[in-house]
Structure 1
Amino acid sequence: MTLHITCAALDAIVRRAHAEHPIESCGMVTANIGLALAQRVIPMTNQAASETFFRFDSRDQLRVYRDLNARDEECRAVYHSHTASEAYPSKDDVDYAGQPEVHYLIVSTWAQTKVPVRSFRIIDGHVTEESIVVVDAA
Structure 2
Amino acid sequence: MLTIDRATYDAIVAHAKRDHPDEACGIVAGPEGSDRPERLVEMVNAAGSPTFYEFDSTELLELYKEMWDRDEEPVVVYHSHTATEAYPSRTDIGLASEPGAHYVLVSTREHGNNEGPVEFRSYRIVDGEVTEEEVTVVDGLSTSN
Does TM, normalized by the shorter one, top 0.5? yes
- Which residue identity lines up with residue 59 of structure 2 in the other structure? D
Tell me the distance in 1 between the aligned counterparts of 2:20 and 2:34. Answer: 32
The count of aligned residue pairs is: 137
Runs (4+) of structure 1 exceeding 3 A deviation are: none
Tell me the distance in 2 between the aligned counterparts of 1:36 and 1:98. Answer: 17
Percent of pairs identical after alignment? 48
- Which residue identity lines up with residue 28 of structure 1 in the other structure? I
| Pairs within 5 Å for 1:115-134 | 116-134=119-137
Give the 3-state SS of the residue equivalent to 2:9 in structure 1: helix
- Tell whether 2:26 aligns with 1:27: yes
Tell me the distance in 2 between the aligned counterparts of 1:66 and 1:135. Answer: 29
What is the CA-CA distance between 1:71 and the residue it aligns to? Answer: 1.6
Query: Do 1:22 and 1:83's aligned partners in 2 also have CA atoms closer than 8 Å?
Result: yes
User: What's the TM-score, normalizing by structure 1?
Assistant: 0.93
Single out whichever of 125-134 and 78-87 deviates more from structure 2.
Answer: 125-134
Structure 1 equivalent of residue 47 of structure 2: 48
User: What's the TM-score, normalizing by structure 2?
Assistant: 0.89
Give the 3-state SS of the residue equivalent to 1:62 in structure 2: helix
> Which digits, 9 at most, give the CA deviation of each residue in 1:46-85, with x for residues without a partner?
0000101100011100100111112221110100000001
Structure 1 equivalent of residue 105 of structure 2: 106
Structure 1 equivalent of residue 74 of structure 2: 75
What is the CA-CA distance between 1:122 and the residue it aligns to? Answer: 0.8
Structure 1 equivalent of residue 86 of structure 2: 87
- With over 3 angstroms needed to count, the CA separation of the structure-2 counterparts of 1:127 and 1:115, relative to structure 1, is farther
What is the CA-CA distance between 1:100 and the residue it aligns to? Answer: 1.1
Give the 3-state SS of the residue equivalent to 2:134 in structure 1: strand
Query: Structure 1: which 5+ residue stretches go unaligned?
Result: none
Report the RMSD for the aligned CA atoms in angstroms. 1.7
